A and B are shown apart, each in its own frame.
Chain A
Amino acid sequence: MVLSVLGMGAVSALGGSIDEFRAGLEGHGKPFIEVAEFPVYRADSSGLQNFMPQRALRRIDSFTRMALLASFDAIKDSGIALKDMGRTGIIFGSAFGPLNTTFAFQDSLIDDGDKCASPLHFAASVHNSPAAQVSIQMGIDGPVQTLSAFNHTVSGVLELARSWIENGIVDTVIAGAGDEYCPLRGYATARMLNGIAPSGIQPLDFDKCSYLPGEGFAVFILANGEKPSKYGVLKKTSVRVGIDESNSILKDGKNIKALFLAANGNNGEGETYAKINAGNIPVRAHSHLYGAFPCATALSIAAALLSEENSVLCAEYSGDGELNLYETGEK
């Protein structure tokens, strides 16, 4: 079955809303790049105070704030009140989870000793903390799930959303994925790049390593494909597709009007993207606007759904020279 995309939310270096994300894609905004030891694309979650009282935000960690803001933004974008969405579930994905909270807990051990381990940081360091908070803050008592499998995270989220809707478990899924930055990620990137910072991500220069870390969270409000959609539909995800099969899909897919790549300046992955034969179809990538992180594929899919073309294929490197493919359909 296909999934109708009723609304979207995006928190990224382009801003804290899908409108700012769209404006950035259209060239009307610049990404926020923080330059410390190494440049990093930073997301801004300050807009969350427009949806939740400041007091309620005090104990909510930085990663969960991104997920909450993207979720509130997506619901607002859909123009549908949560109470009118029917039975609702939540599925989030993240490769790294709440990294800053994970290390804040370790800070409590290292700085203050084992006896001073922080219960608050420990409780919020579990990967499902963002989904749980969205469930609690919005009062969603349906199924709530979190997945984490690096480059298979986003495909897992969308496939599970399809399964829940197709099997009548829920009517609507708040599906999203993202990752947050932490200084250790910056350090690891600097080490991998021998301390030489690229001037910026050049996602379509597959030979060049121009990887820079980023952070962000994208959320999709998904429902049965028969429902009127704001952004068109997401068709079935194809996982672990070899290059030959990918090229056949592109060649045979007469309706495919553009190819969006989740390429992120990692030349190791670029070797696979370079083998894709898109023919005359325009090829695009946008990681230079939000940085590199495993779940940035969700932002790439959001960009595809925002594009003027009705039918777009998104390709994500899934490891071992294979791709995950996501297809959007008519609005």
Chain B
Amino acid sequence: MRNAVSITGIGSICAAGNTLDLSMVSMYAGIRNCSPPVLIKSSLDTEYPVFEVKNLSDKLPGSRTVKLAWKALHEALEQAGLSEKELNGKNVGVCIGTTVGCTLNNEAFYRDFKAGIKPDIKPIHDFLSNNPALNISKALDLKGPVSCPVNACASGTDAIGIAASWIRDGICDIAIAGGTDELSRITYLGFISLLISSGTPCRPFDKNRNGLNLGEGAGILILENNKRKRKSLGEICGYGTCSDAYHPTKPHPEGKGLLKALSMAFAQAGISPDKTAFINAHGTSTPDNDRAEGNVIKSFFPSEVPVFSSKSYTGHTLGAAGAIEAVFSLRSLLDGRLPATAGFTDYDEACGIIPTTENIEIDSGYAVSNSLAFGGGNSCLIFRKEG
């Protein structure tokens, strides 16, 4: 018999708040911290607003991407009642997704190299020691599997899905799962070059939406079988992932891959879509993405299922997005409450989605979290709260 996948601790950090509690307070109050970038300088005429994390401790180890993961991990471990020390030498897996964190994007170093200045190679050594999954696994002296999904914007969701399979298959008893990414000048300029960044705070599913805002952060979940008998917050019931096989950057217009991914996730969970309490949509606020996702949600779920986009409070945190949204989804189930989606005012017939426009009470049921990615990746997770 395969193991159930319990969640015993969750933690997050993002522009909405440096802890999960602070993030929920911000979101329930409708506050969003979206402003021109402080960390990023460019020579563009326009400043595109971003969701930056403030006051990240310098005392945390590693790159900014790794620091964000550690911050969320500390919160998740505390809730799970686990100390770092008691994990040492244990068969504990680490599966943390990223995009920025796996890329050799040290512009200053590369600029010097190009100019023939022969720079010191410390940035290479730093890069080699800052893979978030390896960094955490090594620092905690863990002996379980370690993996780092780099499936673009679905990386965080996939990391949780893969770590859940480790628990189900008995490969490890505990897994640290999630995603992390920092804001970077490279991704900032890259998304602007693709003409999918908005010059104003994003408006998921709104008729006048005109692009995404980048963000940064991390979300971490502690997954376990029930050997430790720790009180469970909830369970990962289903995970599905499928490709559109359509275009390197655009989603399939009818959301072919997302439909298949949802079907896989619901089949694994053994439930039907009418059991869904709410959907935490990918909801980036780009015209193509929201239209494709909206069409899938309309066709797959009953019309009354509430839709929320937490990116309206966090920005698009890339490899961290799916993990932060997973943490928020479980927390909303536990709170029995779902925030309003910020920025939405005008209904778009092409999307067919009216996301939450005020905080709403939610019944017990299942939460669905969607992630869509460059390359045509689509991944979904289904959660339920304990009890």
Contact = CB atoms under 8 A, between A and B. Distances in A.
Interface stretch (B141-149, B199-207, B221-229, B272-280): B141-149
Given A144-B243, A146-B149, A320 B138 contact: yes
Contacts of A187: 113, 118, 121
Contacts of A109: 107, 189
A122 B194 contact: yes
B299 interface: no
Interface string B188-210: 01111111000000000000000
A126 B375 contact: yes
B147 A156 contact: yes
B42 A102 contact: no
Contacts of B242: 141-144
B56 interface: no
A129 B138 contact: no
B373 interface: yes
A283 interface: no
B244 interface: yes
A35 interface: no
B82 interface: no
Interface stretch (B19-27, B73-81, B127-135, B354-362): B127-135
Interface in B68-114: 99, 102-105, 107, 110-111, 113-114
A150 interface: yes
Interface in A58-116: 90, 96-97, 99, 102-103, 105-107, 109-110, 113-115
A102 B104 contact: yes
Contacts of A191: 118, 121
Interface in A166-218: 166-167, 169, 184, 187-188, 191-192
Nearest to B165: A163
Given A99-B104, A150-B128, A136 B248 contact: yes
Contacts of B368: none
A129 B373 CA distance: 11
A306 interface: no
Contacts of B375: 126, 128-129, 131-132, 135, 144
Contacts of B158: 145
Contacts of B118: 187, 191
Contacts of B192: 117
Which among B104, B113, B138, B249 has the greatest number of chain A C-beta atoms within 10 A?
Answer: B104
Nearest to A106: B110
A300 interface: no
B93 to A, nearest CB: 9
B124 A127 contact: no
B162 interface: yes
A143 B243 contact: yes
Interface string B248-290: 1100000011001000100000000000000000000000000
Size bracket of the A interface: 35 or more
B148 to A, nearest CB: 4
B43 interface: yes
A63 to B, nearest CB: 13
Q: From DSSP, what is the main secondary structure of chain A's interface residues?
A: helix
A286 interface: no
Contacts of B193: 117-119, 122
Nearest to A183: B113
Contacts of A163: 162, 165, 169
A247 interface: no
Contacts of A239: 144-146
A123 B150 contact: no
B377 A119 contact: no
Nearest to A237: B145
Nearest to B187: A122
B376 A135 contact: yes
Contacts of A149: 131, 133-134, 146-148
Contacts of A132: 243, 248, 374-377
Nearest to B95: A156
A117 B189 CA distance: 7
A139 interface: yes
Given A96-B104, A141-B243, A184-B110, A148 B260 contact: no
A100 to B, nearest CB: 11
A128 B241 contact: no
Interface string B228-251: 000000000000011111111100
A133 interface: yes
Given A114-B189, A128-B374, A136-B248, A148 B131 contact: yes
Given A123-B194, A149-B148, A150-B131, A144 B162 contact: no
A143 B113 CA distance: 39
Contacts of B171: 159
Contact of A102 (B105, B131, B376): B105
A233 interface: no
Nearest to B192: A117
A141 B150 contact: no
Interface of B: 42-44, 99, 102-105, 107, 110-111, 113-114, 118, 121, 124, 128, 131, 133-134, 138, 143-152, 158, 162, 165, 168-169, 171, 186, 189-195, 241-249, 256-257, 260, 264, 373-377
5 contacts: A90-B243, A133-B248, A142-B242, A145-B241, A152-B147
List of 8 A-B pairs having minimum Cβ-Cβ separation, nearest first:
A132-B375, A122-B190, A127-B150, A117-B193, A144-B243, A156-B147, A119-B193, A141-B245
